[in-house]
Amino acid sequence: MAGHSKWANIKHRKGAQDKKRSSLFSRITREIIVCARQDPNPETNVTLAAAIERARAANMPKENIERAIKRGAGNLDGVQYAEVTYEGYGPGGVAILLRALTDNRNRTAAAVRHIFEGHGGSLGGEGSVAWQFDRRGVVEAIPGDANREEVILVAAEAGAEDFLDEGETLTFYTPSSAVAAVRDALKGQGVTVTRAEIALVPKATVRVEGKDAERLLKLMDALDEEEDVQEVVANFDIPDEVLAQVEGG
Q: What span, in angstroms and rounded, lies between the C-alpha atoms of 213 and 46?
A: 34
DSSP 80: P
- Dump pLDDT digits (tens) for 4-31: 665 665 565 555 444 455 677 888 888 8
Residue 178 burial (10 A CB sphere; 0-12, 13-18, 19+): buried
CB atoms within 10 A of CB 133: 20
- Residues of the chain above pLDDT 90, percent: 37
Q: Among residues 46, 93, 73, 68, which one has the least CA distance to residue 199? A: 46
pLDDT of 131 = 95
Asked if 168 and 247 count as a contact pair (C-beta separation under 8 A), the reply is no
Q: What span, in angstroms and rounded, lies between the C-alpha atoms of 224 and 45?
A: 24
pLDDT at 216 over 70: yes
DSSP 82: E
Asked if 133 and 86 count as a contact pair (C-beta separation under 8 A), the reply is no
Asked if 96 and 232 count as a contact pair (C-beta separation under 8 A), the reply is yes
CB atoms within 10 A of CB 32: 28
216 alpha carbon, distance to own chain's centre = 17
> How many helices, marked H, and strands, marked E, lie in the chain?
9, 10
Q: What span, in angstroms and rounded, lies between the C-alpha atoms of 78 and 32?
A: 13
Residues in the chain: 249
244 alpha carbon, distance to own chain's centre = 19
pLDDT at 51 over 90: no
Instruction: Enumerate domains of the chain plus CATH numbers.
Output: 2-72 (1.10.10.200), 82-131+204-238 (3.30.70.980), 133-202 (3.30.70.980)
Q: What span, in angstroms and rounded, lies between the C-alpha atoms of 162 and 104?
A: 38
Name the pTM for this structure: 0.74
- The three-state DSSP-derived secondary structure of 158-188 is HCCCEEEECCCCEEEEECHHHHHHHHHHHHH
pLDDT band at 201 (very low <50, low <70, confident <90, very high): confident
pLDDT of 80 = 76
Name, in order, each residue with C-beta under 8 angstroms of 66's C-beta and a sequence gap of 6 or more. Answer: none
- Dump pLDDT digits (tens) for 71-125: 888 765 666 778 899 999 999 999 999 989 888 999 999 999 999 999 999 999 9
